[in-house]
Amino acid sequence: MERIGDAFGWPFRDPDWLNKILIMGLIQLIPIVGGINGLGWMLATLDRLRAGDEKLPPANFDYLARGVQLFVVYLVYYLGLAVVGTVLYVPAVVVLAQQGHDAPNGLLVVVAFALMLLTFSVVTIGSLALTFAMPSIVLGVDHGGIAGGFHVEAIFRRARSSPLNTLIAGLMLIAAGFIGQLGAFACFIGVVFTTVYALAMQAWIIRSFEIGSTTTPTK
């Protein structure tokens, strides 16, 4: 994973990087469709990196069909996490609302707050787990389509083949996600640049993870 540090700078090696990133950023602003196209563009970027081409793919709508598969897989995983969180959170809210009208029962209040804490813990840990599993999930979708994205055994096996590889990739993806949101925090128009730049970073990180997984012997 030595090359993973290049994730920050590699997009600028393309002489036309600014135009591509800005156009893709504008496409990203289209609700749902833009995000799906962006995921497909990230996969196309991954293909180029595999081929040794360190230039960003053209900025257009050609990546929708490919992005749909990854979008569906992401959606199902995060919806599943949201459902689990809701199942834990709603009873806590109901109990606290009831206790606000009736004579408070200390035990029920404690249980409600414990459920809220459990909800926060489950959602936080689940989100982190999905982030660290993301390279394996993306590669599963890339090689096997939607079904490959839900082949949990293969995803887990790839992730655990090199725990250090998985850890570094996950931490870098967290950094890429932060950069992707940075434009919205600093100036909303900046998100046009940062979201696509983050996708390019993700492609490099996933390719680095793939190389590391391939060269790491499995036990």
Instruction: For residues 20-32, give the mean pLDDT.
Output: 93
* Cα–Cα dist 98/96, whole Å: 5
Confidence of residue 183 (pLDDT cuts 50, 70, 90): low
Identify the pLDDT of residue 99: 75
CA atoms within 13 A on the CB side of 113: 6
Reported pTM: 0.88
How many distinct helices (H) and strands (E) make up the chain?
Answer: 7, 0
Confidence of residue 46 (pLDDT cuts 50, 70, 90): very high
Q: How many CB atoms lie within 10 A of CB 178?
A: 12
Identify the pLDDT of residue 189: 61
Instruction: For residues 57-61, give the mean pLDDT.
Output: 96
Q: Can you say whether the dihedral through the CA atoms of 86, 71, 160, 54 is positive or negative?
A: negative
CA angle at residue 90 from 88 to 94, to 5 degrees? 125
CA angle at residue 50 from 7 to 39, to 5 degrees? 65
Q: Quick check: 173 and 135 in contact, CB under 8 A?
A: yes
15 pLDDT above the threshold of 90: yes
* Mean predicted lDDT score pLDDT of the chain: 89
Backbone phi, psi, residue 114, to 5°: -65, -40
Identify the pLDDT of residue 214: 67
Percentage, residues of the chain above pLDDT 70: 90
Confidence of residue 219 (pLDDT cuts 50, 70, 90): very low
82 pLDDT above the threshold of 60: yes
Tens digits of residue pLDDT in 102-123: 677 778 889 989 999 999 999 9
What are the sequence ranges of the domains in the chain? 2-215
* Cα–Cα dist 23/125, whole Å: 35
